[in-house]
Structure 1
Amino acid sequence: MSVRLDGAVIRLEGECRVEDAEPLLSLLQEEAGRVVDLSAAGRLHAAVVQVLLALRPPLSGEPADSFAARWITPLLATARPG
């Protein structure tokens, strides 16, 4: 599994597949303010990106995958709705 809780930080590691979206969602909903660390993340499945876009958790690190680093991370960093 690519989603791992480490204290208050949710670490995405390696390739994040569709089945990682649900555990990520659960961890983010369990406790507000958890940070998602992308520094060890590879490719992010669209379902994982949708969870991140919907909940807009605080992020740290930059994914190793060049597409995610160039396109997804800036999208997640844009102004949050509300």
Structure 2
Amino acid sequence: MSVRLDGDLIVLEGPCRVEDAEPLLGYLQADRSRIVDLTEAEHLHAAVLQILMALRPGLRGSGRNSFMRDWVTPALMTARAIDMAPPHG
């Protein structure tokens, strides 16, 4: 399994497959303040990515390959920043 809980940190390692989506969702639902560490992640299945985009947890690291660093992590960080921005008005 590529998802593990280390205290209040959810660590994603190697290729995160579809079967990793359910434990990731459970960890985040149990405590929304948990941080997801992407440092050692190599690939995120679309189901894992969708959970991260929907729940927008705090993130650490940016992945082990250029696609993760250049595209996936910035997209997740942008979605989180938009979610945390104060409302206009």
Q: TM exceeds 0.5?
A: yes
Report the TM-score, using the length of structure 1 for normalisation: 0.94
- Alpha-carbon offset, residue 80 of structure 1: 1.7
Higher helix proportion = 2
Unpaired runs of at least 5, structure 2: none
Which aligned runs of 4 or more in structure 1 are off by greater than 2 angstroms? none
Q: Deviations over 1:4-46 (max 9, x none)?
A: 0000000001100011011100000001200000001111111
Unpaired runs of at least 5, structure 1: none
Equivalent residue pairs, number: 82
CA distance in 1, matches of 2:68, 2:45: 10
Residue of structure 2 in register with 1:21 after alignment: 21
Residue of structure 1 in register with 2:83 after alignment: 80
Q: Structure 1 vs Structure 2: percent identity of aligned residues?
A: 59
**What RMSD in Å do the two structures reach over aligned CA positions?**
1.3
Aligned-partner residue type, residue 80 of structure 1: D
Residue of structure 2 in register with 1:4 after alignment: 4
Residue of structure 2 in register with 1:35 after alignment: 35
CA distance in 1, matches of 2:67, 2:83: 22
**71-80 or 8-17: bigger deviation:** 71-80
Report the TM-score, using the length of structure 2 for normalisation: 0.87
